[in-house]
Amino acid sequence: MALLMGIDTGGTYTDAVIFDDETREVISSAKALTSKHDLSICVSEATAAALADIDPSKVALVSLSTTLATNALVEQHGFPVGLILIGQDDKALDRAGLRQALGSDPVLFLDGGHGTDGLERAPLNLDAAQADIEALTGKVSAVAVCGYFGTRNPSHEIAVRDAVRRLTDLPVTCAHEMASALDAPRRALTALLNARLISLIQQLIRAVSAMLDQSGIDAPLMVVKGDGSLIAADTALTRPVETILSGPAASVIGAQFLCNRPDCVISDIGGTTTDIAVLKDGKPVLADDGAVVGGYRTMVEAIAVHTIGLGGDSEIGLDDEKQLRVGPRRMVPVSLLARDNPGIVDILKTQLDRAWPKPIDGRFAVKLRDLKAGTLSRGEQRIWDMLQDGPKSLEALLAARAPEQPLLRLVDRGLVILSGFTPSDAAHVLGLQDSWNTEAAKLSAGLHARTERRPGIPLAANGDDLARKVIDRLTVQSCMAMVEAVIPDAPGRSARRFMTEAFAHRSDQEDADSLVGFEVRLHRPLIGIGAPAQTYYPEIAKRLHTDFDVPRFAEVCNAVGAVAGGVSQRVHILITSPAEGLFRVHALEGVEDFRFLEDAAARATDIATTEAERRALEAGASEIRTETNRDDRVATVAGSFDVFIESRITATAFGRPMLAVR
């Protein structure tokens, strides 16, 4: 009997399941709170509980899905990186959200690049850039390289990559390795995000590898990609951007396996995000133009998942119109913080006894992980030192004259997380959840209810009223997200206003006085997964006027999806015709020219097939089979004869994950 272990590390919980590969059934499952400061703790806790009555030596495969990369982009956290653009100038940063994604990180502009025909447009001068490349050491965690028309000829990207490796010890990501399509800024964005995530994924894989060694598990370790397929952990270390939407993809694959419905809308609500996908004819709908996460449209092939910063642990605040807003940032629920730090309750009581409210009442700061000395500013270091002994209220931090901006920078870097009132706390107040410290949740609700939307106008009448408003707002935002996920174009402002009003009408309210009724219907059943699904989704389904189901093991669906998928690697090779009688194959390391199209197509097919099979083997596949597809684009001139434009050869290699031999 071959047993497979699926692990999912989410922003709030880490889940583990043991899966029988022969019967295709889940035989045990467990959950643990995610310990962001040391991931080995939560991974060990969850897996040990799942293996309580099972011999670890029988585990033949460990597969990991994670929302950490997705959450890092949604919450705008990550490690500093350097960007090297070849044949491009500063204007390129204004496209595809590249400047925003880069932030204050360094960027180098090098002469060079190629044309659409794959021929060199300008020579590459690496000698002039040597000092700037060497200076990146100590400033960044990784480097991303993108050349102009690098997909038509990647030789300049490869040369710069080799130079960075020679001059520094930094990991390097080339844009042509991330995507084969044109659009240099978007390829640069994808490479940049990949580089930013490398250190994050390294931490996770090291934690899981350490757990396997300690548990006596000798089995291959794999990671779920954004398209739901699996890759070996070593491959994920070099291409971590492919794991964005790994968690959502695993949840879709898991839900597909568990719910047995060919057509449905799947919504996975966790602590940090809500991920929505569509099953059509039993298969997940794929993104036409790359995965979108945190507002960035990448060039990563992925299941079409609509991800928003909305979950049980979302921050509660006010929007520009002073209306209640849930998300997009995650906070530690104050009820959870108080469970592990009982002194939080006394602080909340003291703040509530004060006659006047402060905007920072009920908010705390918590250190997430250790940090090497000398990497913080003076203001950041002061706050960091104050957090060494445990959580501190923002009131105490600011009373010590610690400015707010350094604190926010620590939060943006993922070193510190804030704690406050969240939907999870609201659920505790209303008796919908009792996992943590309910007293702290009620005290925090009372504090936040006093927040003034406008002078003299509090946010809510009392704590219970605030809790109801928070749950209702999460419901409305979730309904809007469902609509936006399933229609091709985002609704306009007027449509959004009407839909918001429709969703704000609770399912148990009568509307006898209204002359006109307005409702929105979802014409597919809603499958809710994730730990909070049963708490929030029955009302969401009612307002969408659709059927609702929570399948068995829905609370660990991501971990199920981590072991229910297979390995798949896809390679695209383009053929163009820059001149009559000339067919150019844009290969993986340069260009090759042929006189006849069929010769070029045969060579492109051979390159694509060989590379797809190599990548599948590298990704941990066995029993590999390959499919190829040829897509010729021609234009008819004057209605009489066809002119060749281009041809795209695609090879896809499929396989089962390679299991440990027992």
- pLDDT of 603 over the 70 cut: yes
Q: What is the reported pLDDT for 592?
A: 92
Q: What is the reported pLDDT for 28?
A: 94
Of 10-19, 75-84, 119-128, which gets the smallest average pLDDT? 75-84
Contact 190, 291 (CB under 8 A): no
Give residue-wise pLDDT tens across range 58-67.
999 999 988 7
Give residue-wise pLDDT tens across range 125-179.
888 889 999 999 988 988 999 998 888 898 999 999 999 999 998 988 888 888 7
3-state class (DSSP) for residue 103: coil
Q: What is the reported pLDDT for 150?
A: 86
d(CA 146, CA 161): 10
d(CA 603, CA 214): 48
Q: Are strands 526-529 and 548-549 parallel, antiparallel or unpaired?
A: parallel
List, in sequence order, every beta strand (DSSP E) within 111-160.
142-147
Of 202-206, 210-214, 366-370, 506-510, which gets the smallest average pLDDT? 506-510
Say if residue 573 is exposed, middle or buried (CB neighbours under 10 Å; 0-12, 13-18, 19+). Answer: buried
d(CA 474, CA 469): 9
d(CA 529, CA 545): 18
- pLDDT of 372 over the 70 cut: no
Under the banding of pLDDT at 50, 70 and 90, the label for residue 21 is confident
Q: What is the reported pLDDT for 373?
A: 53
> What does pLDDT average to over the chain?
86
Please count the CA atoms within 13 angstroms of the CA of 104 that sit on its side-chain side: 4
- What is the model's pTM? 0.70
- Percentage of residues of the chain with pLDDT beyond 90: 38
Q: What are phi and psi of 312, to 5 degrees?
A: -65, -25
Q: What is the reported pLDDT for 266?
A: 93
Which of 141, 152, 147 minimizes the C-alpha distance to 175? 147
- pLDDT of 20 over the 70 cut: yes
The whole-angstrom distance between residue 86's C-alpha and the CA centroid of its chain comes to 28
Under the banding of pLDDT at 50, 70 and 90, the label for residue 525 is very high
Between 239 and 147, the higher pLDDT residue: 147
Class of the 81-200 domain?
A: alpha beta
- pLDDT of 493 over the 80 cut: no
Domain ranges of the chain: 81-200, 314-470, 567-654
- pLDDT of 512 over the 60 cut: no
Contact 326, 423 (CB under 8 A): yes
Instruction: Work out the average pLDDT over 394-418.
Output: 82
Q: What is the reported pLDDT for 601?
A: 96
b vs e for 492-531, b when ≥16 Cβ sit within 10 Å of the residue's Cβ?
Answer: eeeeeeebeebbeeeeeeeeeeeeeeeebebebbbbbbbb
Which of 561, 479, 531 minimizes the C-alpha distance to 269? 531
Name, in order, each residue with C-beta under 8 angstroms of 286's C-beta and a sequence gap of 6 or more. Answer: 227, 301, 302, 303, 304
Q: What is the reported pLDDT for 533?
A: 86
Which of 124, 128, 163, 127 minimizes the C-alpha distance to 143? 163
Q: What is the reported pLDDT for 51?
A: 92
- pLDDT of 431 over the 90 cut: yes
Q: What is the reported pLDDT for 505?
A: 59
Instruction: Work out the average pLDDT over 19-24.
Output: 88
Instruction: Work out the average pLDDT over 303-321.
Output: 86
Q: What is the reported pLDDT for 639?
A: 64
Under the banding of pLDDT at 50, 70 and 90, the label for residue 285 is confident
Contact 44, 52 (CB under 8 A): no
Instruction: Work out the average pLDDT over 642-651.
Output: 91
Under the banding of pLDDT at 50, 70 and 90, the label for residue 509 is low
